[in-house]
């Protein structure tokens, strides 16, 4: 098989010197300032004159801003991250006008992600050492995993998270990503809270509940933060970082678990069938919102889809209203009600079902029907103790 030309980001932690940290912090601030100025200019032009401002126009504005006394400091940092910020804004507007995203929002100094993107003209990559523009020394990067042989980054993104950790992400063409041999395996996946995933094979993957395990630690850190005087004091900043570290620990462990599960599913199966859940609406359930967020179903689906695209696998999402839990996978009878506390049930045909395994098997059957016959096709269903739903409809219409 020929290797696919896939660009992949390799993310590493690094430890900047004081001078590098100061330069990057200035760059983050300038990137945020330029983005907000350009967004304000484009919003004003559309609101007052119904005029669309292009990327080229905002680039010309940036040149003019650097010549003013008030914004002269923009010339002290590398110009490439500033230009990239304008390109990112252009992309945001393209998605907005294409009705794929909401209207772009202003970046906040406290809440927005601190990052700067450098293209090839703004960094030097030699013998495994990375040196950014406006810096004399290379970054002290912890190479936790090897890069592909002969790797040459096309872009480099430097960021700092809320816990104060510094990261560098290198976008590289990875020749190691190629379609896997077709093994013909197919699996249905039912997501849940008692078990993170239940497969149509009967296997259940436990829910690690990372947030619950660190809930006491998080609560202690938040109580200490709440007792600090509000403002920009050093003690409050230190307490805020402790809270951020707990959140980062939870997110890192959750992401690691999802990466391992999704990689295994993609490697072992040619076709993976999931439910098309609207997690945003499910989070409106106040009793379950915290547990659903901890399970991170949306991130699971995102990882599954891009890894399937990498390795030539297929991910099918069945309709969210498909009654996977109430449908008997043996005789296709549909139960009228199925409360959440019912974990096992017996159909009129005499088969006793584990709720989650039965749902996963129905999801697989529905997904394979969609794959074979087109969207909207579902397995034939019967009502308990009667004819199939299709047959009942035919009898009802006969004179």
Greater confidence (50 vs 64) lies with 64
Provide the token pair at 81: 């991250």
Residues 6+ apart with CB under 8 A from 358: 324, 325, 327, 328, 329
pLDDT in tens, 194-231: 899 999 999 999 999 999 999 999 999 999 999 998 88
Q: Which of 23, 174, 294, 356 is catalytic?
A: 356
For residue 172, count other CB atoms closer than 10 A to its CB.
19
Kindly tell me if the per-residue pLDDT of 377 is higher than 70. Answer: no
The per-residue pLDDT for 251 is 95
Mean pLDDT of 124-148: 93
Positive or negative: CA dihedral 33, 37, 38, 39? positive
Q: Please, which residues bridge with residue 314 across strands?
A: 271
* Percent with pLDDT over 90 in the chain: 65
Mean pLDDT of 138-146: 95
Q: Are 210 and 371 a contacting pair, CB within 8 Å?
A: no
pLDDT tier, 282 (very low <50, low <70, confident <90, very high otherwise): confident
- DSSP 8-state class, residue 273: E
Q: Are 334 and 327 a contacting pair, CB within 8 Å?
A: yes
What's this model's pTM, rounded to 2 decimal places? 0.83
The per-residue pLDDT for 393 is 37
Kindly tell me if the per-residue pLDDT of 303 is higher than 80. Answer: yes
The per-residue pLDDT for 39 is 97
State the DSSP H helix or E strand holding residue 74, giving kind and residue range, or none if neither. Answer: none
The per-residue pLDDT for 381 is 41
Q: Which of 23, 211, 275, 294 is catalytic?
A: 275
* Percent with pLDDT over 70 in the chain: 92
Catalytic residue at 319? no
CA distance linking residue 55 with residue 59, whole number of Å: 6
The per-residue pLDDT for 128 is 87
Query: Is 169 in a helix, a strand, or coil?
Result: strand
Greater confidence (131 vs 398) lies with 131
Kindly tell me if the per-residue pLDDT of 270 is higher than 90. Answer: yes
Kindly tell me if the per-residue pLDDT of 330 is higher than 60. Answer: yes
Mean pLDDT of 108-129: 93
The per-residue pLDDT for 372 is 66
Catalytic residue at 190? yes
Q: Are 333 and 347 a contacting pair, CB within 8 Å?
A: yes
The per-residue pLDDT for 335 is 81
Catalytic residue at 275? yes
The per-residue pLDDT for 23 is 96
The per-residue pLDDT for 380 is 42
Kindly tell me if the per-residue pLDDT of 1 is higher than 50. Answer: no
Q: Are 262 and 303 a contacting pair, CB within 8 Å?
A: yes
Q: Which of 174, 190, 211, 294 is catalytic?
A: 190
Kindly tell me if the per-residue pLDDT of 96 is higher than 90. Answer: yes
Q: What is the mean pLDDT of the chain?
A: 88
The per-residue pLDDT for 224 is 94
Mean pLDDT of 298-321: 92
- Least Cα distance to 196 among 360, 23, 1 occurs for 360
Domain positions in the chain: 6-174
CA distance linking residue 52 with residue 45, whole number of Å: 7
pLDDT tier, 374 (very low <50, low <70, confident <90, very high otherwise): low
Mean pLDDT of 384-399: 39
- Least Cα distance to 323 among 284, 365, 264 occurs for 365
The per-residue pLDDT for 353 is 84
The per-residue pLDDT for 166 is 97
The per-residue pLDDT for 248 is 95
Mean pLDDT of 381-388: 43
The per-residue pLDDT for 254 is 95
């Amino acid at each position: 098989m020929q290797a696919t030309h896939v660009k992949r980001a390799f993310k590493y932690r690094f430890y900047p010197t004081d001078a590098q940290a100061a330069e990057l912090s200035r760059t983050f601030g300038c990137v945020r300032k330029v983005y907000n100025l350009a967004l304000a200019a484009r919003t004003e032009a559309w609101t007052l004159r119904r005029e669309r401002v292009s990327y080229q126009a905002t680039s010309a504005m940036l040149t003019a801003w650097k010549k003013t006394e008030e914004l002269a400091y923009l010339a002290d940092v590398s110009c490439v991250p500033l230009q990239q910020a304008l390109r990112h804004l252009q992309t945001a507007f393209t998605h907005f006008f294409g009705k794929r995203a909401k209207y772009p929002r202003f970046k906040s100094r406290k809440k927005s992600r601190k990052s700067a993107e450098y293209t090839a003209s703004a960094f030097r990559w030699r013998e495994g050492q990375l040196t950014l523009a406006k810096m004399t020394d290379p970054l002290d990067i912890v190479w936790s995993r090897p890069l592909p042989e002969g790797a040459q980054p096309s872009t480099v993104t430097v960021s700092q998270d809320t816990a104060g950790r510094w990261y560098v992400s290198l976008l590289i063409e990875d020749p190691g990503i190629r379609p896997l041999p077709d093994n013909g395996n197919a699996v249905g996946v039912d997501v849940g809270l008692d078990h993170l995933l239940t497969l149509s094979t009967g296997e259940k993957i436990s829910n690690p509940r990372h947030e619950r395990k660190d809930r006491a630690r998080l609560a202690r850190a938040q109580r200490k933060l709440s007792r600090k005087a509000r403002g920009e004091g050093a003690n409050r900043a230190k307490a805020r970082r402790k809270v951020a570290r707990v959140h980062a620990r939870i997110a890192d462990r959750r992401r690691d678990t999802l990466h391992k599960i999704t990689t295994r599913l993609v490697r072992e199966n040619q076709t993976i069938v999931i439910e098309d859940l609207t997690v945003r609406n499910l989070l409106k359930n106040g009793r379950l919102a915290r547990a659903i967020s901890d399970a991170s179903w949306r991130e699971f689906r995102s990882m599954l889809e891009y890894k399937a695209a990498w390795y030539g696998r297929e991910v099918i999402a069945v309709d969210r209203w498909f009654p996977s839990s109430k449908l008997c996978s043996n005789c296709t009878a549909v139960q009228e009600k199925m409360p959440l506390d019912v974990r096992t049930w017996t159909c009129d045909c005499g088969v006793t079902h584990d709720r989650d395994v039965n749902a996963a098997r129905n999801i697989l059957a529905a997904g394979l029907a969609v794959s074979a016959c087109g969207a909207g096709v579902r397995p034939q269903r019967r009502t308990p103790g009667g004819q199939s739903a299709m047959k009942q409809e035919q009898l009802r219409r006969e004179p």
